[in-house]
Amino acid sequence: MKQILPLSPPDKAPRRPIIRLAESVYERLRADIFAFRLLPGDRFAENDVAERLQVSRTPVREALMRLQSEGLVRGYFRNGWEVIPIDFKRFAALYDLREMIELHAIRRVARAIVAQSATCASLLGEIAAIWRVPAALRERDGLVVAALDEGFHLAMVAAAGNSETDAVYRQVTEHIRIMRRLEFAYGDCIDDTYDEHIAVLAALDAGEIDNAEALLMRHIKDSYTAVQQITIDRLEQVRTEMAQSAGTAPGRRKRFG
């Protein structure tokens, strides 16, 4: 009698390769957005991406949905996808919200440290281990430092102990991520970031609440000013290069790549 082998559970066998492909597509598209190979306002279809990367539409759709959740692209029903245009008014409002949340958080953290909270002391020790390092041992990869910088601010807000504020701040972080990473990818801010984080930590250690707030506020405002200019300059540079290669001023691009 011919032996009948049990069937694999439906959908589970092919799922892992699709997940890996979706992760790969996500990384490629995100890199294209951060490097302005895909410009703000560019429109494209899932088929364009699938053809270019030689994959099916399923991992492409999953990657695009993830990018949409991060505020980097948006989909139109039956009309393709668009890289989110950079709205400086919106980013200014988000940075204002970021500043309000972080200043509230650092006040609470500073007071907890003065009250000798073991939890906050432990947090500061973990953060300090990353930032208080000799100059020769500082991380030099801009995007790695961008992730570390994001972690510094997320940890500070989380330490304030308000889960609702923490959730809102994480959403703000996702919405401004592209601009913050542009600062580290194209700016000269790595050493300043280390120095400014160390200064904030030192003020907290010393129980200087007002000083810690002032240092953090200046850190955020300087970051926004720098990243706004970098974004404008980078966009202008890319558009100039496109115009030169095409021989004419570029219009609104409709296709991927």
pLDDT mean across residues, the chain: 85
DSSP per-residue codes, 195-248: HHHHHHHHHHHTT-HHHHHHHHHHHHHHHHHHHHHHHHHHHHHHHHHHHHHHSS
**Per-residue confidence (pLDDT) for residue 33, from 0 to 100:** 85
- The sheet that has 81-83: what strands, in order across it? 43-44, 81-83, 73-75
**Per-residue confidence (pLDDT) for residue 251, from 0 to 100:** 46
Q: What is the rounded CA–CA span in Å between residue 27 and residue 66?
A: 11
Segments of the chain with pLDDT less than 70: 1-18, 246-257
Domains of the chain: 15-85 (1.10.10.10), 88-237 (1.20.120.530)
List the beta strands (DSSP E) in the chain.
43-44, 73-75, 81-83
* Local structure of residue 135 (DSSP, 8 states): G
pLDDT digits (tens, 9 = 90+) for 210-252: 999 999 999 999 999 998 888 888 778 877 877 777 665 444 4
**Per-residue confidence (pLDDT) for residue 143, from 0 to 100:** 83
The CA distances from residue 85 to 5, 38, 43, 82, 200, in Å, are 53, 11, 11, 8, 34
User: In the chain, what's the furthest Cα-to-Cα distance?
Assistant: 83
Q: What is the rounded CA–CA span in Å between residue 109 and residue 212?
A: 10
